[in-house]
């Protein structure tokens, strides 16, 4: 059913026709029809309005929840403003997907809730998932919350910093960095020896970005670690924190430890020297690494930039 036909049916005085139109849109139409459904949420006929609530939730579930991974990020962002106008009752219907047996449906329902906005109702629903038994749900909940909360309600994030799953802890650290509140530095400092490479890397990066610049010892410990993932993450950290104003010790570490046996570590070392982007770092990169390795690193950086839309 197209928009013109739908509006004509809603404008009629026939309740059955109106309800039928809403159900048809919910079952068959694309997500673009949500803009026509939203005004019907406040229809004077309670039966029609109730059907619009159910229909809106079903349309969002069908179009967003079931096909989340296939939807372009730009489209998701564009829908966010429109979806914030939804009635809280619609949110309740969508939140029901969090209790689905299918794990993918639960995860996507949580992601869609994050897209819907920053109302207290949504924050409450998402924050409740921080204690979910499913580690993927907890990690996704933190990821959603960090986008929603900004520098507020940090206590919700503190709760997950000692979660047994490293993905949850890593997302929690990212959320604290995003908050930009320097009062979190002592809390982050206590996590500098986390056994997981991603968590430790996020901690060191967050500390540096929040003004705690004395992280060279931490990075050096990581590049000397026996685990190659820890060493690779150390170079990722160097690449991230050197973007604004690279310091001499960053180039020193890249030059001293870049010739690692592991190809992933070497690739990250190359990317670090490229990101530092000084005449010396570029010269050092060419001296230490083969042309083929440098080319591969550049291609990988360009591919990632394209994926992120940069």
As a whole-number percent, the residues of the chain with pLDDT over 90 amount to 44
List, for residues 7-43, the tens digit of each pLDDT value: 999 999 899 999 999 999 888 887 778 788 888 888 9
Question: What is the share, in percent, of the chain residues with pLDDT greater than 70?
Answer: 78
pLDDT attached to residue 45 = 93
* Gyration radius of the chain over CA positions: 24
Rounded Cα gap, residues 142 and 131, in angstroms? 11
Each residue's pLDDT tens digit, 115-129:
665 556 666 676 677
pLDDT mean over 165-176: 84
Q: Which of 150-159, 195-204, 275-284 has the lowest mean pLDDT?
A: 150-159
Residue pointed to by tokens 């809106």: 56
Judged by average pLDDT, the poorest of 143-147, 243-247, 251-255 is 143-147
Kindly tell me if the per-residue pLDDT of 130 is higher than 80.
no
Residue for token pair 């933190």: 142
Angstrom distance (rounded) from CA 216 to CA 218: 5
Distance CA 251, CA 297 (A): 17
Instruction: Tokens 């982007």: give the residue.
Output: 277
Each residue of 57-75: pLDDT tens digit? 778 777 766 665 666 666 6
Mean pLDDT value across the chain: 83
Q: Which residues are within 8 A (CB) of 178 and not within 5 positions of it... i.e. 6 or more apart?
A: 146, 147, 150
Crossing angle of helices 228-241/248-257, nearest 10°? 150
Q: Where are the domains of the chain?
A: 1-99, 118-212, 223-310
Count of beta carbons in the 10 Å neighbourhood of residue 179: 20
pLDDT at 234 over 60: yes
pLDDT(131) > 80 = no
Q: Cα(201)–Cα(208) distance, rounded to whole angstroms? A: 11
As assigned by CATH, the class of the 118-212 domain is mainly alpha
Q: What is the pLDDT of residue 193?
A: 93
Measuring CA to CA, how many Å separate 167 from each of 94, 107, 154, 162, 187?
Answer: 25, 15, 18, 11, 18
């Amino acid at each position: 059913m197209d928009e013109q036909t739908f509006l004509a049916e809603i404008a009629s005085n026939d309740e059955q026709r109106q309800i039928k139109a809403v159900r048809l849109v919910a079952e068959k139409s694309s997500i673009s029809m949500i803009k026509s459904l939203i005004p019907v949420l406040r229809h004077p006929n309670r039966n029609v309005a109730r059907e619009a609530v159910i229909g809106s939730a079903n349309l969002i579930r069908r179009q967003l929840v079931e096909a989340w991974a296939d939807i372009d990020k730009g489209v998701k962002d564009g829908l966010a403003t429109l979806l914030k106008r939804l009635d809280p009752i619609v949110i309740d219907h969508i939140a029901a997907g969090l209790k689905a047996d299918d794990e993918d449906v639960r995860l996507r329902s949580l992601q869609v809730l994050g897209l819907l906005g920053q109302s207290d109702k949504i924050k409450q629903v998402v924050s409740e998932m921080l204690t979910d038994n499913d580690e993927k749900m907890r990690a996704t909940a933190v990821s959603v919350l960090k986008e929603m909360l900004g520098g507020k309600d940090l206590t919700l994030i503190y709760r997950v910093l000692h979660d047994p799953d490293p993905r949850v802890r890593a997302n929690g650290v990212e959320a604290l960095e995003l908050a930009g509140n320097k009062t979190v530095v002592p809390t982050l400092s206590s996590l500098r020896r986390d056994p997981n490479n991603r968590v430790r890397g996020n901690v060191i990066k967050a500390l540096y970005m929040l003004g705690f610049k004395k992280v060279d010892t931490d990075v050096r410990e990581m590049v000397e670690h026996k685990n190659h993932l820890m060493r690779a993450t150390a170079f990722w950290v160097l690449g991230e924190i050197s973007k604004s104003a690279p310091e001499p010790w960053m180039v020193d570490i890249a030059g001293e430890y870049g010739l690692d046996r592991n190809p992933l570590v070497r690739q990250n070392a190359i990317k670090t020297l490229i990101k530092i982007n000084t005449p010396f770092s570029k010269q050092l990169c060419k001296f230490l690494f083969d042309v083929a390795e440098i080319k591969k690193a550049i291609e990988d950086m360009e591919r990632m930039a394209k994926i992120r839309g940069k």
